[in-house]
Chains A and B, each alone.
Chain A
Amino acid sequence: MTESKQNRSAPITPPRYRRLRILLDPSLSLDVATAAVNRATAEVPWENLAPGPKGEYVEVIDHDPASGCFYQPVDLSDPLLLAQDGHIPSAGNPQFHQQMVYAVSMMTIRSFERALGRVALWKGQKLDEAGQYINDPEVAYVPRLRIFPHALREANAYYSPDKQALLFGYFSAPADIFGNQSGGTVFTCQSFDIIAHETTHALLDGLHPRFGEATNEDMLAFHEAFADVVALLQHFTFPDFLRQQIGRTRGDIASDNRLAQLAREFGESIGNYGALRDAIGKVDVRTGKWERLNPDPKLLADTHEPHARGAILVAAVFDAFLAIYQARTEDLLRLATRGTGVLEPGAIPPDLVNRLSAEAAKSARHVLNICIRALDYCPPVDLTFGDYLRAAITADFDAFPEDRLGYRVALVQAFLKRGIFPRDVHNRADVDGLRWQPPTWELDDELVPTFKELSDGWDLNSDRRSVFTTAWKHRAKLHVVLDRFISSEAASYQAELRQNLGLMADQKFEIHSARPARRRGPDGEFLMDLVLEIVQTVMLDPETLEPLPRNAEGMKFRGGCTLLIDMRTGKIRYCIRKSISNRNRRREQATFLTEAGATLAALYLGPQTETFAKLHRGGC
């Protein structure tokens, strides 16, 4: 009898995380107080990696065309690197740069996925090499976002929707007047914030491809703001950095602190007096001193440039976060001060620093989750900041019907103070009134089974390729069914349904997205909604704003709705509508496009596909 030489060691489960060293911002290393905390270690979900790194979601390609060369792709599976958490931070080592863009983009992707409870997908490819529409999901599927850490030789970094890629630039910086900056090369791929920001653009575009279309003043601003919010709130996931900043500010993170600042090195090297953007204050150019900026509800109306406008939304979200943090730590401060809540002068005790840091991290995580989850509750096109507030309030209500700590009140207050409020809601005092309201109409019973059939297992463990192809097939199937209900002019029911869905007759429509969203039921059980986005695109006569025949040239105008359908009952819970027939919206878009389209670039270069390239030039 032969005994097989079986391995008798205990089974080994793969690690949950791969630890990789990164930098938070190169400027932190120039300050003795922060140098030590700048070197953070990111915990990235474990996956098998090929050199690049090339994994499931991203692929780093280090082509530097301005220098006419490539750099050797890092192999993070090398045991020597595995054992020491990757390369040591070094500006002069391209492999460290590759490691860092990989680590930060994966952290960001993970935050996104956790909040939504499902794997993230990149935007599919629409056209093939010959410029034809792709009809096969296997061909359209884009498995990996490409990351080029040294693609550009300028002060710019951007997400390219066409290439499904992030392009980072490097440039030589002037020695800064405050002496913070030594000159030398600045790498945008060495800033946690810039990487997180650009990755978020790609994630958002994957979920909402129409949000990159500037149909109103808020659209591009929202893209920027959302990317900044995700970058900012992730600052609170780095314990050493967080504790150091909490200690330095004695827990008052509404004062001048690095947690609220974005891309300081980049900001200083392009001539800003301080961070690229700061959620709570700014440095006064004359005095060189930082000061808190108080919310001004009138500012929004006079702010048009997308980054500046987006900054107002970021500030509102950050204010909400601060209010939540304060609410969560009031008791701690009373405990630490014998009930007075007033801290003694001097440093605060380490235990208090730890507890405050834990609360700050938790608050940040919660606010980030609210912000990301809101994306499932947004209209498919033509989003405004006000719509986003309604989406966030509704999403949070669905996840946590009881608002014990007043998160939603904090959000509404903060948005109101910055002049952000939905125009279609009148009572500003009523937080619950901001929620999207359930529809007063019902779907034809015939449609209900179709929706119920679509439940699938799209969650955090799904295979991304099959999720993409399944969703594609679901959309195709739904289109056939809905087409019968929507397109024909016949019965009055159909006209009514079209109106309810914000659509019109005799124009094509698309099922733009079909995806699951999880929420909590009244008894704490998990329920699932199907999120359906239905979009119609028509060409309008620029003068009369009436639809032109299909394929005519005119002003492109989109409308439709996002439906949240309860998968148990097949009933519509919310219908978030941007009606294609809305005259006001048509007029507003025409006015907006007349102003925005009046550029030399539009004249000579035509419609621009690299929306984010120019938007970010000299200012990411």
Chain B
Amino acid sequence: MIAAALVAVLLILAGPFGAPRLFGAVAQAQPPAPSAPPNAEPLPPDVVRGHCSVCHAYRLVEQQRLDRANWDWVMDDMIDKYGATWIDRALRERIVDYLVEHYGAER
């Protein structure tokens, strides 16, 4: 179906690391810690809103105050159960970072 092909194109072109931003110049002797994401810039709010309101209104997101484990659980369901195929793995991580930052359990 054409629809599926277009979504596939989006995924392919988004690439594994999302935005093709340059790494900041790093003047240090040792390599960066393995857990440091190469793309640590926070997502713009409108990107999160756009990707998280294709099926349901964003208000559902804004209601939540969840820790990372729960946001991960939600994202699992969004992608695996409910078909949010426009969110690839790297983007997923950055979205969860954003959600924990703005709609986290501590607020």
Chain A complexes with chain B? no
Q: A residues bordering B, Cβ < 8 Å?
A: none
